[in-house]
């Protein structure tokens, strides 16, 4: 890949990340789906890994993670650590095991949504006396709200991935 | 033949002479009035004159349209700008009017608590988390805001407390968040209790009132305010109103659900109590 192609890819993904982060941090802090705010930035880390491989998945996942922690606010560095790992892992899987298609993305995206929800809620499970089901209900609702974005995220990243390679 | 022609010429000459004579005589006798011929000529020429006049005015309009088009376009543009400016002014004045209304409300609250020092700030963003209830405000430590400062609405209802602080921004955790807990009083009876966030109630925008003394009765709609115990929050700030009360299963402890009197979804401006006198 030439320097020009790399620069083009970086610019395209940077623009996408900024737009998505703005949406996540503004519109979707007010709009609720199924009674929960959707969290779709982790889906981008998965898509980056799947379409761009482990290295780009890790790097772009790191950027998405920083944005995500900044927007969500109560997670310290959870997403800054988690999303690069997700991007890297999905990249690795797509390089060796998974086909780069929608079923693979869908499966990885759903796993990542539940993983993010569970890790966000971990402190409530572990360190508070809040019952199990109310916390789990919030995780499930957040997962359902985020799952709505699986198809748009898949198409957006696939489109940019193809444009960057063209 | 020549004679005939001569006769005809004489007749024509006489006729012309007679006509001129009639015209002269009519001019002499009917001076100032239009003669029959004049009227006839006028009647014949009128349509032509009208046609010419219409054509001329059409040409004039076309010329005027072409000549004035640029100036009209410029004037139109100027008017559009003026309308846009006026619309902006109306919007600004509406925002100022709303802000003024909030300050008026605050004035009433400040009159009741003359020891409070306020700092106003705007809400910049809400958290995207489903596990907490917090928002960011536009002012921070450089404006004199400190950690744990109380944040109230313009009508003096408690919104939350400052939990994270930066130089030019701060995070306010609302009263419905699970981390919130404060000493409270039932406004009507002065009964002391604790108002705290509850995970299940947070999604409904409510909080729980607990540690009520045995035998206390609460009715829906009763107002709850801060007690000031602990010295973190000032006394007498309204938290919300009771929406339901029930005894905990297997005990005589009464707990209640409170709904904040503030509509969090419509918050745009908040007031931070940066200083107050602790009443003993």
Query: With an 8 Å Cβ cutoff, is B266 touching chain A?
Result: no
Which tokens is B137 given? 């405000």
pLDDT on residue B28:
59
Quote the ipTM score: 0.88
The overall longest dimension of chain A from CA atoms, in Å, is 55
Which tokens is B169 given? 């921004």
pLDDT on residue B249:
75
Query: With an 8 Å Cβ cutoff, is A79 touching chain B?
Result: no
Say whether domain B119-275 belongs to CATH 3.20.20.210. Answer: no
The pTM assigned to this predicted structure is: 0.71
pLDDT band at A39 (very low <50, low <70, confident <90, very high): very high
Alpha-carbon span B149 to B129, nearest angstrom: 23
Helix, strand or coil, per DSSP, at residue B193: strand
- Contact call for A73 and B200, based on CB within 8 A: no
pLDDT on residue B248:
78
Nearby residues of B30 by Cβ (< 8 Å), 6 or more positions away = none
Give tens-digit pLDDT for A69-117: 989 877 788 999 999 999 999 999 999 988 888 999 999 999 999 999 9
**Closest by Cβ to B130, choosing from A24, A130, A138:** A138
Which tokens is B72 given? 């009209």
pLDDT on residue B37:
55
Which tokens is B245 given? 């009360």
- Contact call for B128 and A73, based on CB within 8 A: yes
Which tokens is B64 given? 């005027």
Query: Can you give the three-state secondary structure of A117-140, one letter per residue?
Result: HHHHHHHHHHHCCCCHHHHHHHHH
- Contact call for B128 and A121, based on CB within 8 A: no
Task: Tell me which chain A residues have a C-beta less than 8 angstroms from the C-beta of B203.
Answer: 35, 138
* Average pLDDT value over all residues in chain A: 91
Task: Look at residue A143 and tell me whether its pLDDT is greater than 80.
Answer: yes
Q: Which residue has the tokens 């209790």?
A: B193
* CB B247 within 8 Å of CB B92: no
Q: What is the mean pLDDT of residues A6-27?
A: 90
Report the 10 Å Cβ neighbour count for B119.
17
- Contact call for B127 and A121, based on CB within 8 A: no
pLDDT on residue B154:
86
- Contact call for B129 and A74, based on CB within 8 A: yes
- Contact call for B132 and A128, based on CB within 8 A: no
* CB B151 within 8 Å of CB B172: yes
To test the contact with chain A by mutation, choose from B123, B124, B129, B163 the residue with the greatest count of A C-beta atoms within 10 A, namely: B129
Percent of chain A surpassing pLDDT 70: 99
pLDDT on residue B52:
66
Task: Tell me which chain A residues have a C-beta less than 8 angstroms from the C-beta of B128.
Answer: 24-25, 28-29, 37, 39, 71-73
**For residue B31, what is the DSSP state?**
T
Specify the higher pLDDT residue, A62 or B43: A62
Can you give the pLDDT of all 280 residues of chain B as single tens digits?
556 656 777 788 788 878 777 766 766 565 545 455 556 656 666 676 677 677 777 777 776 777 678 888 888 999 999 999 999 989 888 888 887 777 777 777 777 777 888 899 999 999 999 999 999 999 999 999 999 999 999 888 999 999 999 999 999 999 999 999 999 999 888 889 999 999 999 988 999 999 888 888 888 999 999 998 877 889 889 999 999 988 877 777 888 999 998 888 888 889 999 988 766 5
**Which domains does chain A show, CATH number per domain?**
3-165 (1.10.1760.20)
Which candidate, A115, A32, A130, places its Cα nearest to that of A81? A115
Measured in angstroms, the CA of B112 and the nearest CA of chain A are apart by 34
Alpha-carbon span A27 to A21, nearest angstrom: 10
Alpha-carbon span A136 to A156, nearest angstrom: 30
**H or E element that contains A60:** helix A41-72
pLDDT on residue A154:
93
- Contact call for B134 and A74, based on CB within 8 A: yes
Alpha-carbon span B170 to B175, nearest angstrom: 16
Selected residues 130-189 of chain B with any CB under 8 Å from a CB in chain A? 130-132, 134, 136, 171, 178
pLDDT on residue A149:
94
pLDDT band at A155 (very low <50, low <70, confident <90, very high): very high
Task: Tell me which chain B residues have a C-beta less than 8 angstroms from the C-beta of A142.
Answer: 130
């Amino acid at each position: 890949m030439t320097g020009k192609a790399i620069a083009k890819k970086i610019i395209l993904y940077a623009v996408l990340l900024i737009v998505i982060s703005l949406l996540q941090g503004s519109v979707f802090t007010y709009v609720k789906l199924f009674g929960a705010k959707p969290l779709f930035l982790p889906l981008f880390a998965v898509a980056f890994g799947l379409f761009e491989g482990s290295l780009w998945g890790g790097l772009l996942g790191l950027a998405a993670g920083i944005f995500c922690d900044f927007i969500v606010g109560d997670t310290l560095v959870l997403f800054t650590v988690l999303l690069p790992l997700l991007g890297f892992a999905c990249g690795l899987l797509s390089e060796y095991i998974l086909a780069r298609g929608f079923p693979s993305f869908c499966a990885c995206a759903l796993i990542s949504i539940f993983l993010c929800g569970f890790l966000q809620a971990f402190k409530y499970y572990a360190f508070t006396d809040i019952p199990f089901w109310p916390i789990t209900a919030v995780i499930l609702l957040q997962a359902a709200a985020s799952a709505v974005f699986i198809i748009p995220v898949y198409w957006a990243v696939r489109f940019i991935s193809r444009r960057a390679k063209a | 033949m020549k004679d005939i022609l001569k006769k005809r010429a004489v007749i024509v000459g006489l006729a012309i002479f007679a006509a001129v004579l009639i015209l002269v005589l009519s001019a002499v006798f009917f001076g100032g009035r239009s003669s029959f011929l004049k009227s006839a000529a006028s009647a014949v020429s009128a349509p032509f004159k009208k046609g010419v006049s219409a054509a001329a005015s059409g040409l004039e309009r076309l010329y005027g349209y072409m000549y004035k088009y640029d100036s009209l376009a410029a004037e139109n543009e100027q008017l559009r700008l003026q309308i846009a400016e006026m619309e902006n002014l109306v919007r600004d004045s509406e925002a100022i009017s709303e802000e003024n209304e909030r300050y008026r409300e605050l004035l009433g609250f400040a009159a009741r608590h003359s020891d409070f020092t306020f700092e106003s700030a705007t809400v910049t963003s809400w958290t995207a988390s489903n596990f907490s209830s917090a928002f960011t405000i536009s002012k921070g430590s450089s404006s004199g805001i400190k950690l744990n400062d109380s944040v109230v609405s313009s009508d003096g209802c408690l919104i939350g407390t400052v939990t994270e602080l930066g130089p030019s921004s701060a995070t306010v955790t609302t009263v419905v968040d699970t981390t919130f807990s404060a000493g409270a009083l039932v406004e009507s009876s002065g009964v002391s209790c604790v108002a705290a966030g509850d995970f299940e109630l947070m999604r409904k925008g409510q909080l729980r009132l607990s540690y009520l003394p045995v035998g206390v009765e609460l009715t829906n709609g009763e107002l709850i305010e801060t007690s000031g115990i602990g010295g973190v929050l000032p006394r007498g700030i309204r938290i919300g109103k009771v929406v339901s009360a029930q005894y905990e299963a297997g005990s005589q402890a009464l707990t209640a659900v409170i709904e904040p009197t503030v509509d969090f979804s419509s918050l745009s401006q908040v007031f931070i109590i940066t200083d107050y006198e602790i009443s003993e």
